[in-house]
Amino acid sequence: MPGLIGKKIGMTRIFDDEGVQIPVTIIEAGPCAVVQVKSEESEGYSAIQLGFGAQKAKRASKAEVGHAAKAGLEAAPRLMREFAPDNGEEYEVGQQLTVEVFEAGDRVKVTGRSKGRGFQGVVKRHGFKGRPASHGHSMSRTPGSMGPGTDPSRVIKGKKLPGRMGGTRTTIRNLQVVRVDGERNLIFVKGGVPGARNGYVLISK
């Protein structure tokens, strides 16, 4: 299966049969409609385009509405993403993919946009130790001297410096599916996943 688009609900904990607590992230995944099946002959590459959620008609463009109508959908999806298809598995336009494609014990990768932290210094952004903070030291969280001397007498590219932190596309691999709730379209994934609550994520095996 190609994968699913979901929305991060938040984190909680559940208990297994032996009473051991497991920290999990709850993701509302699907149902995702197959909006388009791309092939080598027509588009030049193979992909499955999935849609998640529904937009209000007044907020969707005519192109989005027409694209969704061609797939037999009543409303334009709120989010559309492409997934690489599985070898040998065929999908039809309008087909609905649900959380039932996953089961407890599966290993998945989850992609999302990490939380934006704004402009941060090197201590928070890169984990620098910092300098002594006692006796009113005014520069305890600054990076300190960084430019080499006579040769090459410049700051080397790639130096860890203060700057914007977070807000980037992030993927965490090898996460374990602990539980699947087909009635409520929920997937319980062990550990944390990128992004804030109500952020969109992509889940694939």
Q: For each successive 10 residues of the chain (205 residues), what is the average pLDDT?
A: 90 92 94 91 90 91 91 91 82 90 93 96 92 86 82 86 95 96 94 94 93
pLDDT score, position 132: 86
pLDDT score, position 20: 93
pLDDT score, position 147: 77
Domains 1-30+101-132+161-205 and 31-97 share a fold: no
- Measure the CA–CA gap between 120 and 83, rounded to whole angstroms: 34
Break the chain into its structural domains and give their ranges.
1-30+101-132+161-205, 31-97
Q: What angle do CA 171, 130, 194 make, to 5 degrees?
A: 15
Q: Does domain 31-97 have CATH number 2.40.160.20?
A: no
pLDDT score, position 126: 94
pLDDT score, position 1: 65
pLDDT score, position 102: 92
Phi and psi torsions of 120, nearest 5°: -125, 155
Q: Which CATH number fits domain 1-30+101-132+161-205: 3.30.750.24, 2.40.30.10, 1.10.10.10, 3.30.540.10?
A: 2.40.30.10
Q: Which of 4, 168, 187, 182 is nearest to 80 (CA)?
A: 4
- Determine whether 170 is exposed, middle or buried from the number of CB atoms within 10 Å of its CB (0-12, 13-18, 19+): middle
